Amino acid sequence: MRTVRLSVGEAVVRFLSAQMTEIEGRRVRLFGGVWAIFGHGNVAGLGAALAGARRTLPTLRAHNEQAMALAAIAYARTHMRRRMMACTSSIGPGATNMLTAAAVAHVNRLPVLFLPGDVFAGRGPDPVLQQVEDFASPLVSANDCFRPVSRYFDRITRPEQLLASLPASLSVLTDPAGCGPATIALPQDVQAEAFDWPVAFFAPRLHRIRAPEPDVAELAAAAAALRGAKRPLLIAGGGVKYARAGAQVSGFARRHGLPVAETQAGKGSLAWDDPANVGAIGVTGSEAANDLARRADLVLAVGTRLADFTTGSRALFADARLVGLNVAAFDAGKHGALPLLADAARGLVALGRKLGAWQAPPSWRARAAAGLARWNRAVDRATAAPRKGALATDAQVLGAVNRALPANGIMVCAAGGLPGELHKLWRATDAAGYHVEYGYSCMGYEIAGGLGVKLAAPDRPVMVLVGDGSYLMLNSEIATSIALDAPLAIVVLDNRGFGCIDRLSGATGGGRFNNLLAEAAPRIDFAAHAAALGAEAKAVAGIAELEAALPAAIRARRTTVLVIPTDPRASTQAGGAWWDVPVAATHARLRSAYLRARARQARGG
**Would you call 598 helix, strand, or coil by DSSP?**
helix
Residues 145 and 238 in one domain: no
Residues 439 and 507 in one domain: yes
Judged by average pLDDT, the poorest of 270-274, 494-498, 510-514 is 510-514
Host domain of residue 347: 216-375
Average pLDDT over residues 401-413: 98
Average pLDDT over residues 463-480: 96
Residues 141 and 223 in one domain: no
Please tell me the distance from the alpha carbon of residue 508 to that of residue 516, in angstroms, as a whole number.
16
- β-strand pairing of 3-7 with 194-198: antiparallel
Domain-embedded: residue 586: no
Domain-embedded: residue 88: yes
From 207, 228, 257, the end of a domain falls on: 207
Longest CA span, the chain: 78
Residues 367 and 390 in one domain: no
Cβ 414 vs Cβ 436: under 8 Å = yes
Average pLDDT over residues 123-138: 93
Please tell me the distance from the alpha carbon of residue 33 to that of residue 84, in angstroms, as a whole number.
8
Residue length, the chain? Answer: 605
In this structure, what CATH number is given to the domain that contains residue 490?
3.40.50.970
Q: Is residue 335 very low, low, confident or very high in pLDDT (cuts 50, 70, 90)?
A: very high
At 182-205, the pLDDT tens digits run 999 999 999 999 999 999 999 999
Average pLDDT over residues 150-161: 98
Whether 601 shows a pLDDT value over 90: the answer reads: no
Q: Is residue 495 very low, low, confident or very high in pLDDT (cuts 50, 70, 90)?
A: confident
Burial of 518: CB neighbours in 10 Å, binned 0-12, 13-18, 19+ = exposed
* The dihedral formed by the CA atoms of 227, 230, 234 and 235, expressed in degrees to the nearest 10: -130
Q: How far is CA 83 from CA 23, 100, 115, 345, in A?
A: 9, 21, 17, 20
Backbone phi, psi, residue 487, to 5°? -70, 140
What does the pLDDT read at residue 517?
67
Cβ within 8 Å of residue 603, ≥6 positions away: none
Residues 247 and 330 in one domain: yes
What does the pLDDT read at residue 143?
97
Cβ 475 vs Cβ 447: under 8 Å = yes
What does the pLDDT read at residue 499?
61
Find residue 492's DSSP bridge partners.
466, 563
Please tell me the distance from the alpha carbon of residue 108 to that of residue 113, in angstroms, as a whole number.
15
Residues 337 and 464 in one domain: no
Name the average pLDDT for the chain: 94
Taking Cα atoms as reference points, which of 87, 117, 97, 121 lies closest to residue 16?
87
From 152, 177, 207, the end of a domain falls on: 207
Residues 348 and 497 in one domain: no
Domain-embedded: residue 596: no
Domain-embedded: residue 580: no
Q: Is residue 387 very low, low, confident or very high in pLDDT (cuts 50, 70, 90)?
A: confident
Residues 38 and 132 in one domain: yes
Please tell me the distance from the alpha carbon of residue 65 to that of residue 475, in angstroms, as a whole number.
13
Average pLDDT over residues 134-158: 96
Residues 320 and 196 in one domain: no
Per the structure, the count of domains in the chain is 3
Please tell me the distance from the alpha carbon of residue 141 to that of residue 118, in angstroms, as a whole number.
7
**Would you call 494 helix, strand, or coil by DSSP?**
strand
**Would you call 529 helix, strand, or coil by DSSP?**
helix
Quickly list DSSP for 358-403: ----HHHHHHHHHHHHHHHHHHHHHHSPPPTTPPBPHHHHHHHHHH
Cβ 483 vs Cβ 442: under 8 Å = no
Domain-embedded: residue 578: no
> What are the residue ranges of helices labelled H in 384-467?
394-404, 418-425, 445-456
Number of alpha helices (DSSP H) and beta strands (DSSP E) in the chain? 24, 23
b/e burial code for range 184-208 (CB count within 10 A of at least 16 → b): bbbbbbbbbbebebeeebbeeeebe
At 281-312, the pLDDT tens digits run 999 999 999 999 999 999 999 999 999 999 99
Taking Cα atoms as reference points, which of 497, 466, 598 lies closest to residue 506?
497
What does the pLDDT read at residue 506?
63
Cβ 425 vs Cβ 398: under 8 Å = yes
Cβ 161 vs Cβ 140: under 8 Å = no
In this structure, what CATH number is given to the domain that contains residue 301?
3.40.50.1220
Whether 384 shows a pLDDT value over 60: the answer reads: yes
Residues 322 and 194 in one domain: no
Question: What percentage of the chain has pLDDT greater than the value 90?
Answer: 86
**Which amino acid is residue 251, in one-letter code?**
G
Residues 244 and 360 in one domain: yes
What does the pLDDT read at residue 586?
80
Residues 60 and 141 in one domain: yes
What does the pLDDT read at residue 504?
59
Whether 42 shows a pLDDT value over 80: the answer reads: yes
From 176, 207, 238, the end of a domain falls on: 207
Q: How far is CA 534 from CA 20, 60, 559, 561, in A?
A: 36, 18, 8, 10
At 502-544, the pLDDT tens digits run 665 666 666 666 666 666 577 899 999 999 999 999 999 999 9
Backbone phi, psi, residue 163, to 5°? -60, -30
Domain-embedded: residue 595: no
Average pLDDT over residues 125-147: 94
Around 7, how many Cα atoms within 13 Å sit in the side-chain half-sphere? 20
Helix (H) or strand (E) holding 531: helix 526-532
Domain-embedded: residue 451: yes
Taking Cα atoms as reference points, which of 12, 41, 32 lies closest to residue 76?
32
What does the pLDDT read at residue 505?
64
Domain-embedded: residue 238: yes
